[in-house]
Amino acid sequence: MAMSVLGATMAGAEPPKGEPFGKTSRGEPVELYTLKNKGGLTAKIMTRGATLTELNVPDKNGDVADVVLGWDDVAGYESADNQYFGCTTGRVANRIAKGKFTVLNKEYQVPVNNAPNALHGGVERSLDKVVWKAEPFETHRGQGVKFTYTSPDGEEGYPGKLTMEVSYQLTGDNELRIEYIATSDRPTPVNLTNHSYFNLQGAGSPTVLDHEVTIHADKYTPTDDTLIPTGKIDPVEGTPLDFRSAHKIGERIEQLDKTAAIGYDHNFVLNGASGTLRKIARVKDPKSGRVLTVQTTEPGVQFYTGNFLKGQKAKGSKTYAHRSALCLETQHFPDSVNHPEFPTTILKAGDKYTHICVYGFSAE
């Protein structure tokens, strides 16, 4: 179970300090925190959206590159060209069919922003767009920042006052550990995730089609033409979604070009017991030798291959070309709130939502 990492601070340790990162269009000040470890990794996270803005990782030769997509300023993150780069996503990540669900026999309508469905929590006050409070810390694991935000009852149409904390910690084992905790005063759907886009050659490199991917999942959730699950859980065997052994992304992606997903944009039903931290994915870039591993306590992961990246210029004036990054979003299944056969996303009053995701880095 996820635990708050505060209270374990080492005596005499110096937590990271926040630096100004500009203001939102509403005039809210935004801070940026920099985490470092002895392995040469550096992570930067801002208070708007509790967003990972930068992640510098050495390759097999010791050369360091930023491997996540993002922007140089808050204006970039507020622009229409930002496709949830690096943010904390919710209250409900992924899709809700037609933006409708029922809790305790009452139907709720949340904003439809990915017609005909709701996507990633809302329009004006989804978690990626609000400014979180930050509290830096340092423990035996390494430097970190805990972000907190309380979403009032009715925000973006969701019931209940939802109190959340998201802690990022850069460990001495070259892992970026993300822990989520949430409580509510009323039953409400909750499904939080991080929406970082990775290119292990470095953000702005032209493609991820040569990245080799392994996903520990025997099954996936097929969808309709609007990417809402049908309710079935099908085997990956015999499909382009079989990543039980390593495959290059570009090896079979063309088989999905004419599907609704327009490439990989699928929820995988992860092997192993939900609620236990386990390794669920591995990505390797053969050119740089960088390796990304993913661990999670969640039942699913959304594998997405940047099919809607459109050549926008972002950090350092680099261009983010079509399929030049990938996401591995650990989470509950899409539209779970409308599928009682799926693991539930309803958080009851008095219960605690917990979720751990660990992105690990190495080179070979």
How many of the other CB atoms lie within 10 Å of CB of 2? 18
272: tokens are: 């192993």
Q: What is the DSSP letter of 105?
A: T
Residues in the chain: 364
Contact 265, 241 (CB under 8 A): no
Non-local (6+) Cβ contacts of 276 within 8 A are 297
Residues known to be catalytic: 195, 329
Which residue's structure tokens are 């850069």?
Answer: 170
Structure tokens at 223: 């969808």
Q: Is 255 helix (H, G, I), strand (E, B) or coil?
A: helix
What's the rounded Cα separation, in Å, for the pair 109 and 98? Answer: 8
User: Is residue 244 a contact partner of residue 281, using CB atoms and an 8 Å limit?
Assistant: no
Residue 53 has which token pair? Answer: 């803005």
Task: Confirm if 53 and 45 have CB atoms less than 8 A apart.
Answer: yes
Q: What is the distance between the alpha carbons of residues 356 and 207, in angstroms, rounded to a whole number?
A: 29
Are 200 and 363 a contacting pair, CB within 8 Å?
no
Residue 37 tokens read as 């470890």
CA distance 29 to 131: 8
Distance CA 183, CA 150 (A): 10
- Rounded (5°) CA angle 216-221-222: 130
> What dihedral angle (degrees, nearest 10) is formed by the CA atoms of 228, 233, 235, 236?
30
- Are the C-beta atoms of residues 43 and 35 closer than 8 Å to each other? yes
Consecutive H or E run containing 76: helix 74-78
Determine the 3-state secondary structure of 250 from DSSP.
helix
